[in-house]
Amino acid sequence: MGFLAFVRKMIDSVFDFANILIFIVALLALACFFIVKNENSKVDLNFEEWKNENYYSRDVYRKLKFGYTAFLTCITLFPLLGMLGTVMSLVMLDFSDAQGLISARSSFFVALTSTAWGIIFAIIFKVLNVFIATSADDNIRKMTELIDRKALNVDSRRVKVVDVKPGRRKWRR
């Protein structure tokens, strides 16, 4: 009965109500992962061109920033959804009669598997985060600086920048 029995029981629990939500969030996280990977490659390929030609893509910046934020949020949600499935299953326990005792076993099983699925997906996607975290953070920072620089160039014709304190700027017309 070891690991294979555990895997078999986990596979059998996929379609339990409490676990379906975890799998939906897992699909969303996977989609966000691929969006971030795709937008990272666009920034890596085109950044020098955008920097030198007064052209940049706010669309790429928005997709990259939103996709990475959504991906990190999904990672955070997995353990919470696992605990929610556990609580929902335990709340539905009914010990009032013999039939309730029989159904209590399956509810308890769903409670444990929902926690396990939440932890498993959190670990998997946290490991996937290692492959995109540094490049996503760097590219978001580079794009933010580029957008700020382009906005400053456009506004510098109309607005004078006056340093008030180091690190703070005051805009004067």
Q: For residue range 21-66, list pLDDT tens digits in order.
A: 899 999 999 999 999 999 999 988 888 887 776 566 788 889 999 9
Residue 9 in this model has a pLDDT that exceeds 90? no
Taking the CA atoms of the chain, what radius of gyration do you get in angstroms?
24
CA atoms within 13 A on the CB side of 124: 15
How many folded domains does the chain comprise?
1
pLDDT in tens, 103-128: 777 778 888 888 999 999 999 999 99
Average pLDDT in the chain: 82
The Cα–Cα gap between 50 and 54 comes to 6
Are 117 and 82 a contacting pair, CB within 8 Å?
A: yes
Considering the entire predicted model, what is its pTM?
Answer: 0.75
Written as six digits, the tokens of 95 are 């010990």
CA-angle at 156, arms to 150 and 39, nearest 5°? 10
Range of the domain at 56: 3-172
| Res. 161: pLDDT tops 50 | no
